């Protein structure tokens, strides 16, 4: 399915960018483009239905945050609901959690077997639940909270938010299947 998708590489020019490009080509993305150099990686000129943003962990945290913000604040649903995947070298679990809490859709440790990479990236297709608050749009950052302490900067307890169910299809693109508004921890009532 990744052959119908595009990969946009977010990395420093040079070895890191080339490594990410090789990874993206190896797992079978139909189009591969780098933000660090002029586009030359297209294997087909046709537009792709789902764009993946593949980010290298060697970028500083500020660059990662700006990338996430640029994607999530896009008015185009094909962009704002696109998977943003971070590739990291093995390290402490706390570092992995920090990236999850930033809002990455997945954090993948490399090197990894090709089959596992394909499985993890294919896992970004299909149905996903996103949360929207006044300061955040992205996947559920609480998915590992039972394993660790909750970050202090995040509010405690129920808060107003939207739960958005999105569908990513390699064939038809990205669509919003359902949006539900919550006031505190209760679904908002709709006047009839």
Which pLDDT tens digit goes with each residue over 3-20?
Answer: 999 999 999 989 999 999
Task: Kindly report the pTM of this predicted structure.
Answer: 0.83
- All structural domains of the chain: 2-187 (3.40.50.2300)
d(CA 57, CA 185): 34
Residue 39 has pLDDT above 60, yes or no: no
d(CA 122, CA 119): 5
pLDDT digits over 130-189, tens only? 999 888 999 987 766 555 554 454 445 557 888 999 999 999 999 999 998 877 655 665
Residue 71 has pLDDT above 70, yes or no: yes
Strand intervals (E) in 57-125: 84-88, 106-109
């Amino acid at each position: 399915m990744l052959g119908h998708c595009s990969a946009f590489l977010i990395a420093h020019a040079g070895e890191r960018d080339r490594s990410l490009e090789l990874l993206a080509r190896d797992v079978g993305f139909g189009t591969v483009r780098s933000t660090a150099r002029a586009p030359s990686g297209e294997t087909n000129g046709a537009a792709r239905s789902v764009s993946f943003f593949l980010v290298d962990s060697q970028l500083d945290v500020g660059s990662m945050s700006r990338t996430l913000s640029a994607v999530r604040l896009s008015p185009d649903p094909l962009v704002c609901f696109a998977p943003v995947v971070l590739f990291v070298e093995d390290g402490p679990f706390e570092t992995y959690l920090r990236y999850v809490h930033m809002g990455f859709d997945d954090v993948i440790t490399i090197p990894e077997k090709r089959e596992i990479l394909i499985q993890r990236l294919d896992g970004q297709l299909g149905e996903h639940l996103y949360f929207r608050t006044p300061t955040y749009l992205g996947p559920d950052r609480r998915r590992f909270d039972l394993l660790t302490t909750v970050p202090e900067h995040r509010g405690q307890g129920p808060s107003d938010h939207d739960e958005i169910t999105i569908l990513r299809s390699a064939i038809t693109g990205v669509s919003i299947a359902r949006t539900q508004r919550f006031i505190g921890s209760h679904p908002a009532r709709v006047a009839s």
